[in-house]
Amino acid sequence: MVWIIDKYLEFETPVLNSLAHMAYVRNFVHDPISARITLFLMVMGSVAIINELNMTRKMARATHETSEELNKGFIDESLKLHRLIVSDEYHSKEFLDEKSGIVVEEFEDREKFFAKPVHVAHLYVECQCIRTIESQALLEKPLLFHLEFSPEEYENEKRPEFGTRLRVLRKRLYHLFKDSHLFEDLVNDKENFAIGNNVRIFNSQHELLPVSTDDIQLCFLKIETGDKITCEFVLGK
């Protein structure tokens, strides 16, 4: 024990001497007790910073792995069964404590929390009008909408932390176009212009998001906040 103390004092003495010559710090090391408290706080603070940086690195890696997994996947029905959506281990749970009558919330592990994609808050959507699929664009300059999604649009979702569904985006684009003068000028068969196949949405990787994925939330469709995506209004002949 004495040997350990001697070794520590051998380390402590030169460190305290160095601190006594540092700006700002020297004001707190005017006596031995104050000096040792200052050194202890500096050591513990350094350990906390290193630990925080290491934790941030791990969480960033978990987020990056999820993003890569989603970006490499295919846009199809299987996304409805994605493990982050259906597995309870990736979500907090609430249960009633029968003894106290208090609702207790049990949170998921930190790693699983950071592995979840972040909900989409806003998007830029460039819209073009076409008569039929693969036909020439009708507008010389595409329409550009900036859409923001409020909590009211996803608060009733089973997993509200994932934000808005594709259906909400498709419906908003449909009504923005239908309420414009272009709809009156360009659409001949107004009664058959529908939200579904007449509004074709593409994600930031230019992949078509079919109507079959309308129940999937945007963050699982390779779309992130601030992305610029595209849309085609198919007007028919």
Tell me, what's the pLDDT at 26?
A: 65
Domain count, the chain: 2
Nearest-angstrom CA–CA distance, 224 and 209: 14
The pLDDT tens digits for 33-58 are 777 777 777 778 888 888 888 877 87
* Residue 8 within any structural domain of the chain: yes
Range of the domain at 63: 2-69
Count of Cβ atoms closer than 10 Å to residue 197 Cβ: 10
Tell me, what's the pLDDT at 30?
A: 66
* Residue 76 within any structural domain of the chain: no
> Could you tell me if 124 and 230 lie in one domain?
yes
> Could you tell me if 128 and 62 lie in one domain?
no
| Boundary-marking domain end, from 29, 47, 69 | 69
> Could you tell me if 230 and 127 lie in one domain?
yes
> Could you tell me if 158 and 218 lie in one domain?
yes
The pLDDT tens digits for 160-213 are 888 999 999 999 999 999 999 999 999 888 888 989 889 999 998 999 999 989
* Residue 204 within any structural domain of the chain: yes
Token reading at 229: 């995506």
> Could you tell me if 208 and 126 lie in one domain?
yes
Tell me, what's the pLDDT at 83?
A: 65
The pLDDT tens digits for 66-90 are 777 777 777 765 565 566 765 776 6
Average pLDDT of the segment spanning 122-148: 93
Residue type at position 209: L
Instruction: Report the CATH number that the domain containing residue 125 is assigned in CATH.
Output: 3.10.20.90
- Residue 166: left if φ>0, alpha if ψ -120 to 50, beta else—which one? alpha
> Could you tell me if 171 and 63 lie in one domain?
no
Q: DSSP states of 112-155 as a string?
A: HHHHSPPPP-EEEEEEEEESSTTPPBS-SS-EEEEEE--GGGTT
* Residue 107 within any structural domain of the chain: no
- 3-state helix, strand and coil shares in percent for the chain, rounded to the nearest 5: 50, 15, 35
* Residue 113 within any structural domain of the chain: no
Tell me, what's the pLDDT at 29?
A: 64
pTM, 2 dp:
0.70
> Could you tell me if 122 and 28 lie in one domain?
no
Nearest to 202 by CA among 139, 149, 130: 130
> Could you tell me if 131 and 64 lie in one domain?
no
Provide CB contacts within 8 A for 127, sequence distance 6+. Answer: 142, 143, 144, 145, 173, 177, 230, 231, 232, 233
* Residue 101 within any structural domain of the chain: no
What 8-state DSSP symbol labels residue 73? Answer: S
